Chains A and B, each alone.
Chain A
Amino acid sequence: MKKLLRNRSGTAEIVGTVLFLVILFFFFSNVFLWYNQVNGEMNQVVADKTNSAVGIETVALPGNPVTTYSNWNQPFGGYYDFPFDTGNETLIADLRLSIKANLINGNSSDAGVVQILDCNGIPVDTGLRIMNGSLTWFNMTLPSPSNYIDGNGDVTIRIVYAGSEPDSPYLNISYMAVCADPIALEVTDFGGRDATLSRIWIVNATQTADGQTDHVYADMNESGISPGDTLVAGGSTRTIMLSDQTILAGDGSIRVTDNPAGNLTVNYAPPVGQTVTFRVLTTLGNTAACSYNFP
């Protein structure tokens, strides 16, 4: 061993080889560490994406009730028409009718048949009956509201007397209201990580032959929009309103406006009679879509 240590020949080769291996190790470990770091970062991106899956659906937001009649009391014969100005002409998901009423001084065969006039003025039976007795609540939701809302946003409820003694009872309406519930988009984050909205694509399901607006998008990163208002917290929802008129931004996209309360409005009026697909895209590349047939 001592003899081996005293032998100096070949020392330089050993030192050189060791240095060379050190240099090689330095570079390879550098590449390995870089690759490991990049993989870690991208795994985190993919994990964040997986954990922030989103869904989108059209919902009916509770509209403000138009209360036109309260403590209304009249002799009941023939029919009465009760017009309501809902104030909304388009983008109504459904109509809700609430009546608290009864017949006074009638008999058990008397009834008030509640009808709603369609756009052509033809009465449609709602199935509700106001009967003799104590005040009773009647609530119902009418789908396909466009059948009943005219171009001015008016809805007419007709109550027709049905009974054997036409002039005997009184129709007593304690409360009657109509709510027009607007259509809105609701984006839900199904995961535990916050999602940030990037775009909402609006696509006509049936493409027009020469349509230039069959595919449009609303840019959620538009200037003027608070970044916090495009955030959908994990496990929660964010509602996005639709406007009744289309406003384009400078780049041809659909303008998005942000009110002080933090509600986003996509200024897009869907074409009549079209089924429109809304597709949301998040900054992490998640997408979801839903369709709605605008009558």
Chain B
Amino acid sequence: MRRLSKNRKAVSNVIGTILMILVVVVGMSMVFAYFVNFVKDYQTGSGSSVMELVSIEDVWFRFNTGGNVTIWLYNYGKVDVTVSTFYVNGQSIDFHSLTIPVGQHMNTTVQANNGNEWTPGATYDFKFVTERGSDFEGDYTVPSVS
């Protein structure tokens, strides 16, 4: 044993091999971690967009409020949905994101007509886009006022 430990021949080869194995293990670990995270992000992120289903269940045009509208959304998909963007007739509206858990109904009131009152009989296109990129859209007509 003492003879073996005193033998200095091929020491660099052993160290080199160990270093190589270390580098490979560390490198593969990094690749593995990246891949696991990538897959996880994909599955919880854009990959899950296919599981998002939202119904616009009610649109309430509010009069004398400077163009406010209260909208009820219902999440009947399989993942929680965060609505991040709201468009009226293709124009982006200032909107605080809204998270709707699975099977829940949520509502939001938005000033959606640039401070103008709603015009009875006019039709507006409302479109919601989620953080995962799904969109839900519908046309709604302002009712008459008594």
Contact = CB atoms under 8 A, between A and B. Distances in A.
B145 interface: yes
B55 interface: yes
Interface in B38-85: 39, 42-43, 47-48, 50-51, 53, 55, 57-58, 60-61, 63-64, 70, 72, 74, 76-78
Name the prevailing secondary structure of the A interface residues: mixed
Interface string B87-111: 0000000000000000101000000
Interface stretch (A89-97, A165-173, A226-234, A279-287): A279-287
Contact of B58 (A206, A207, A217): A217
List the 10 closest A-B pairs by CB distance, nearest first: A285-B55, A285-B76, A215-B60, A206-B146, A207-B143, A281-B57, A201-B58, A206-B144, A42-B50, A27-B35
Nearest to B143: A207
Contact of A209 (B42, B77, B145): B145
B76 A284 contact: yes
A283 B55 CA distance: 10
A167 to B, nearest CB: 55
Contacts of A31: 39, 42-43, 47
25 contacts: A35-B50, A38-B47, A38-B48, A38-B50, A41-B51, A42-B77, A45-B53, A201-B57, A203-B60, A204-B143, A205-B144, A206-B144, A207-B61, A207-B144, A207-B145, A207-B146, A209-B63, A209-B64, A209-B145, A209-B146, A210-B64, A217-B58, A217-B72, A279-B58, A283-B103
Interface residues on A, range: 20 to 34
A208 B146 contact: yes
Contact of A42 (B42, B55, B70, B78): B78
Contacts of A35: 47, 50
Interface in B114-146: 143-146
Interface of B: 32, 35, 39, 42-43, 47-48, 50-51, 53, 55, 57-58, 60-61, 63-64, 70, 72, 74, 76-78, 103, 105, 143-146
A156 interface: no
A214 B105 CA distance: 18
Interface in A195-225: 198-199, 201, 203-210, 214-215, 217
A39 interface: yes
A245 interface: no
Nearest to A281: B57
Name the prevailing secondary structure of the B interface residues: mixed
B83 to A, nearest CB: 15
A124 B70 CA distance: 47
A137 interface: no
A217 B58 CA distance: 10
Contacts of A204: 143
Contacts of B70: 215
